[in-house]
A and B are shown apart, each in its own frame.
Chain A
Amino acid sequence: EDQVTQSPEALRLQEGESSSLNCSYTVSGLRGLFWYRQDPGKGPEFLFTLYSAGEEKEKERLKATLTKKESFLHITAPKPEDSATYLCAVQANTGFQKLVFGTGTRLLVSP
């Protein structure tokens, strides 16, 4: 069964204090790994898709990397507006487009 585990559950940073979020996965053939950001009362907002080990994607202060077992979301010099829950999801190459999500990391960045 496809599975995603995210750590830590919650992370508190000071503004400017860089850190990384972890997403470990097991999947029967990876079609894609997706990172989303979710703000309270909102739906998940797409950030990145990673397709193969060694791939990296960047957007502003965020950088996502992928290995065969895990993905990291690196946050460089975060700002308070980066506070949100970050969700990781995998899609297997079974022919269906279902996403299997982790339980997320709640990030709080204090000024």
Chain B
Amino acid sequence: DTAVSQTPKYLVTQMGNDKSIKCEQNLGHDTMYWYKQDSKKFLKIMFSYNNKELIINETVPNRFSPKSPDKAHLNLHINSLELGDSAVYFCASSGTGNQPQHFGDGTRLSIL
């Protein structure tokens, strides 16, 4: 009964390829997020969706395109992958207001 699940857990691919990461939450939350954790373990928000609507876009390159088919799912598609995209990507979800965010276990993306 995983609350926030991401697939795949590991993604190894070549520079220039396009890849997608999927996220699903079964907590009934309205808001979902994507965060990027770099090699120094710094966690930074990329996007946030509330009820399928984009509400935060933190100056992420437009090669990154989130898509929310329904409020339980938030996918991340990345075009033309670059070496600097190597990181761990975390999906999270939360209820409204200042409710805590609950995180998935991450997708480790490695660009060769």
Binding site for B on A (CB under 8 A): 31-32, 34, 36, 41-46, 49, 51, 85, 87, 89, 91, 96-101, 103-104
Contact = CB atoms under 8 A, between A and B. Distances in A.
A46 B42 contact: no
B98 A46 contact: no
The size bracket of the interface on B is 20 to 34
17 contacts: A31-B98, A36-B103, A41-B106, A42-B105, A43-B106, A44-B90, A46-B100, A49-B98, A51-B98, A89-B43, A91-B98, A96-B55, A98-B33, A98-B56, A98-B58, A99-B101, A103-B41
Interface in B62-82: none
Contacts of A43: 4, 90, 92, 103-106
Secondary structure at the B interface, as helix, strand, loop or mixed, is strand
Contacts of A89: 43
Contacts of A103: 40-42
Closest 4 A/B residue pairs (Cβ): A43-B103, A32-B98, A101-B43, A46-B100
Nearest to A89: B43
B100 A98 contact: no
A36 B37 CA distance: 14
B42 A41 contact: no
B25 interface: no
Interface in B33-53: 33, 40-45, 48
A44 B103 contact: yes
Nearest to A33: B98
Nearest to B105: A43
Given A42-B105, A46-B102, A97 B41 contact: no
A97 B42 contact: no
